[in-house]
Amino acid sequence: MNLSPNNPILLSSSLHVDEARKAIAQLVAELISESRLTQSPTDIETVSLDQAINRVLALDVLSPIDVPSADNSAMDGFAFNGQCLDSQSPEISLRVIGTAFAGKPYTGVIGQGECLKIMTGALMPSHCDTVIPQEFTESEDQVVIRFKQNQVKPGENRRLRGEDLEKGKPAIVAGRLLRPSDLGLAASLGIAQLQVHRKLKVAILSSGDELRSLGQPLDSGSIYDSNRYSLTGLLNRLNMDIIDCGIVRDDPASLKEAFCKAAQKADVLISSGGVSVGEADFTKQIMQELGDVGFWKIAMRPGRPMAFGTLKPVPGKSPARKTLFFGLPGNPVAVMVTFYQFVRAALLQLNGASQTEAPLTQAISETSIRKKPGRTEFQRAILGPGPDGRPTVRLTGSQGAGILRSMSEANCFVILHHDQGNIAAGDWVDVALFDGLL
């Protein structure tokens, strides 16, 4: 991507959110293509299942066995040969000659007019292909069962060998962000280790003379730095390797030194602060010395000012790769909104994930919401069931970019799109759940 100041997309005074996402995705794709030329064996590592949660699978997991390994019963009932269902009689009577349990196969032969009591998961006995659920049968003496012929069809209620997975076929596909169910699936196949992409090294820093670290006294006009802690939590959710570069003063020399150190260690640098109106030219000057950057005024609320680009490889970095850069706003809520809407997907894409965007759902707005067309808004809200069971959503009060409590109370964003206007109570709106609730 052309990140020069002459790029007409990046010079836009009101870049749409979707355009910004496409620009970032294109840049990340180019970085991935370039990194393949310097790919190191350490870019893929083998981890045990208990260490694989939220890692990105690097290679397909091929099933070493058929699942199920043999035909088995899908439910508790009675197994028999389905050919007897061709009878003209509306009711079938069969003699029960034994029982098959899961893990204890029945080795006898089932003859004509006979059946076997069978438990869910038990192997289907020889010459049997159909199971009648127990609740559909009647029995007087526990020896003979009767059932109506129209209650079951030949071959029903039987799980076939390899029905779920065939030996040698992919069980989990590369690019998967591994979830608990994936680990359970791997374990069910006897697989104890998985090959995953190396964790991205992500450096974070906060810029501002007014910022103080926890434990320091607050003097007049100073505030505690909350952004690094929010970013640390967000990055831990993605299982990233975090490098905390602390608080950086508002001067060119300090910022340049911090960026150079971060670029030497990290795959990605995320800064907060220093990109709002009046400060953008200052940051731009530093970034032009160290790499390529495009500055946006994105048509969104909150989080209008944001920068992204790359830092050039620095001596001593191995392999020599560019560092992806995100300059987020300084307001605490805007930091989290821009992370969720832009940074999260970019990190997953750079780490090899095939699914990077969080899915949207819809809910009914409990109240009216004022909205001007011409920008995308991300309102903090609480999603839950309404009186009729349908999903409803309500805002967490004031939506100011500095009110971090609104994020703490929320479990989702209400997304009001670029061309939308006012929302009336009872209207359906798009909702994006926060990480950890999916």
Q: HSE-up of 64 (CA within 13 Å, CB side)?
A: 8
The single residue listed with the structure tokens 């091929």 is 62
Whole-prediction pTM: 0.85
The 8-class DSSP code of residue 13 comes to S
The CATH H-level superfamily of 72-159 is Molybdopterin biosynthesis moea protein, domain 3. (2.170.190.11)
> Tokens for 31?
């970085």
438 residues of the chain, pLDDT tens digit each: 455 444 545 544 678 999 999 999 999 999 998 877 666 667 899 999 999 999 999 999 999 999 999 999 999 999 999 998 877 788 999 999 999 999 998 988 899 899 999 999 999 998 899 999 999 999 877 789 999 999 999 999 999 999 999 999 999 999 999 999 999 999 999 999 999 999 999 999 999 888 899 999 999 889 999 999 999 999 999 999 999 999 998 888 898 999 999 999 999 999 998 776 565 556 777 888 898 877 678 899 998 888 888 999 887 777 788 999 999 998 999 999 999 999 999 999 999 999 888 889 999 999 999 999 999 999 999 999 999 999 999 999 888 777 888 888 999 999 999 999 999 999 999 999 986 644
Helix (H, G, I), strand (E, B) or coil at 8: coil
The answer to whether 61 and 194 are in contact (CB under 8 A) is yes
Topology (CATH) of 360-433: Beta-clip (2.40.340)
CATH 2.40.340.10-classified regions of the chain: 360-433
CATH 3.40.980.10-classified regions of the chain: 17-49+202-350
CATH 2.170.190.11-classified regions of the chain: 72-159
> Tokens for 265?
């260690």
The answer to whether 115 and 79 are in contact (CB under 8 A) is yes
The answer to whether 406 and 414 are in contact (CB under 8 A) is no
CA distance 161 to 71: 5
> Tokens for 100?
């098959």
In 3D space, the residue among 376, 369, 387 whose CA is nearest the CA of residue 342 turns out to be 376
CA distance 324 to 346: 9
The CATH H-level superfamily of 17-49+202-350 is MoaB/Mog-like domain (3.40.980.10)
